[in-house]
Amino acid sequence: MKYTVFLASLDICIFCLILLSRKSSAADFLYEACVPRNCGNGPNITFPFYIEGLQESYCGYPGFHLKCGKHGYPTINSTENDYIVETISYPSRSFRVYNAAVLSNLTGRCLPQIKNTTLPIGEFQYVNVTSPYLSSNCIEQLPKDLSQYMVDCQGENRDNLDLAILDKDENLQKGLENCEKNVVAPVEVHGDKERIVVAEYEEILRRGFELNYLSSSDCSTCEREGDRCGFNTTTHSFRCFCPDRPHFRRCRPLRTVSSKLLSKKKKKKKVSYFFFVAFDLWNLIIENLN
Ligand SMILES: *[C@@H]1O[C@H](CO)[C@@H](O)[C@H](O)[C@H]1NC(C)=O
Ligand SMILES: *[C@@H]1O[C@H](CO)[C@@H](O)[C@H](O)[C@H]1NC(C)=O
Ligand SMILES: *[C@@H]1O[C@H](CO)[C@@H](O)[C@H](O)[C@H]1NC(C)=O
Ligand SMILES: *[C@@H]1O[C@H](CO)[C@@H](O)[C@H](O)[C@H]1NC(C)=O
Ligand SMILES: *[C@@H]1O[C@H](CO)[C@@H](O)[C@H](O)[C@H]1NC(C)=O
Ligand SMILES: *[C@@H]1O[C@H](CO)[C@@H](O)[C@H](O)[C@H]1NC(C)=O
């Protein structure tokens, strides 16, 4: 019986040791701080983007700050409009945005409250974007050839007349002259053939558009291996935040070798543990039989 108690406690000891050995590998705080986060909705945010207030600025690249909107989506910090970041493709360095105004209710209005946009264009480039004009407060007796651009908002308690005109349209100038307020809203077109149909302007605004960004190749190795790139504004240099400490380019210089060794070690540990438990059980059975 004493033997049984001894074996059982030995088992527990080994189990505890295994747990401890796992726990003791606490990760570096920079690595922990830069864990991908999200705003509740939308994509997970990681380098080069960071969410102001949720992630530290060193988790991203200067100018790539996002903020969480009331709607629970990450948005580009732009003074005029909120642009919701719908998806981010980190490998192709592009992301898709749409104007948050399309989410709001249009009671009494035909067009969403879109303002002229100046995105922080230095860092981002538009992909296949055209800019139709959204014109509101237009005069009541519109010239006939402008009626085709009239935004249809039946059932709405409309207080003015709105138009949507493509930027290359022959009637653009006339439209601008007959409306009080004109704004330019970037939208995506799929090739030259696509014509923007006024009736679909809402859908097209919701579709949003794609932006490309540049990112330093200094981060590509770190990112590719699933680690967390960051930026030190003091030294103005990229760092790869690793579980142990920050490195320059990558966390594991000899990745293949070390990971192979690691998995072998782990396997060995597991196998020996199972042998041990099996041996214990065998002993217990023998003892009980006796
Ligand atoms: C965000 O990351 C979490 C944890 O890795 C994952 O479960 C979730 O699906 C991710 N969300 C998106 C939108 O990719
Ligand atoms: C974000 O935008 C607000 C104005 O909307 C501005 O006051 C703030 O400085 C911006 N944040 C950054 C980091 O540029
Ligand atoms: C928009 O209007 C619908 C009904 O008209 C309402 O249920 C919804 O809560 C409104 N959404 C917002 C954001 O005000
Ligand atoms: C928006 O920009 C367009 C083109 O630059 C300009 O014609 C228009 O007056 C601007 N609208 C407002 C409200 O500033
Ligand atoms: C952009 O438009 C061109 C044709 O004008 C097309 O070949 C290309 O695939 C489009 N790119 C995207 C990202 O939609
Ligand atoms: C940035 O670099 C400075 C100087 O080497 C260092 O003191 C600081 O801890 C670094 N910060 C981050 C966030 O890496």
pLDDT of residue 39: 95
Please name which ligand lies nearest the alpha carbon of 230: 6
Residue nearest to atom 13 of ligand 2 (CA): 65
Q: Which atom of ligand 6 is nearest to the CA of 30?
A: 13
Q: In this structure, which residue's CA is closest to atom 4 in ligand 5? A: 191
Cβ(117) – ligand 4 distance below 6 Å: no
Residue 52 Cα to ligand 2 midpoint, Å, equals: 10
Can you list the pairs that 146-152 forms with residues at least 24 positions away whose Cβ atoms lie under 8 Å? 146/171, 146/174, 146/175, 146/178, 148/198, 149/175, 149/198, 150/198, 151/110, 151/111, 151/198, 151/201, 152/110, 152/198, 152/199
Tell how far the Cα of 71 is from the centroid of ligand 5, in angstroms: 30
CB of 191 shorter than 6 A to ligand 5 = yes
Crossing angle of helices 255-289 and 2-23, rounded to 10°? 160
Q: Using a 6 Å cutoff on CB, does residue 237 contact ligand 6?
A: no
3 state SS of 53:
coil
Q: Which two tokens stand for residue 140?
A: 């009541």
- The pLDDT assigned to 276 comes to 47
Q: What is the pLDDT of residue 106?
A: 65
Instruction: Walk along the chain (290 residues) and give the pLDDT tens digit of each residue.
Output: 566 655 556 565 455 455 545 444 577 889 889 999 999 999 999 999 999 999 999 999 988 999 999 889 999 877 678 899 999 998 889 999 999 888 876 665 677 788 887 766 577 888 888 888 888 888 888 888 888 888 876 555 555 678 888 777 888 898 899 998 899 888 887 765 556 666 677 788 888 899 999 876 778 888 888 889 999 989 888 999 998 889 888 887 754 545 544 555 555 555 455 444 454 555 545 555 55
**pLDDT of 287:** 58
For residue 36, the ligand 1 atom closest to its alpha carbon is: 2
- Do residues 198 and 166 touch, judged by C-beta distance below 8 A? no
- Position 218 scores a pLDDT of 73
How does 162-179 read in b/e, with b if 16+ C-beta sit within 10 Å?
A: bbbbbeebebbebbeebb
Centre of ligand 6 from the C-alpha of residue 194, in Å: 50
Contacts with 199 (C-beta within 8 Å, 6 or more apart), sequence order: 152
Provide the 10 A C-beta neighbour count for residue 73: 23
Let me know: does 219 contact 238? Beta carbons within 8 Å. Answer: yes
The pTM score is 0.74
Distance (angstroms) between ligand 6 centre and the Cα of 259 equals 29
For residues 45 and 36, what is the distance between their CA atoms, to the nearest angstrom?
5
Measured in Å, residue 231 CA sits from the centre of ligand 6 at: 9
Indicate which residue's Cα is closest to atom 11 of ligand 2.
77
Q: Tell me the CA–centroid distance for residue 154 and ligand 4, in Å.
A: 27
> Coil, strand, or helix at residue 67?
strand
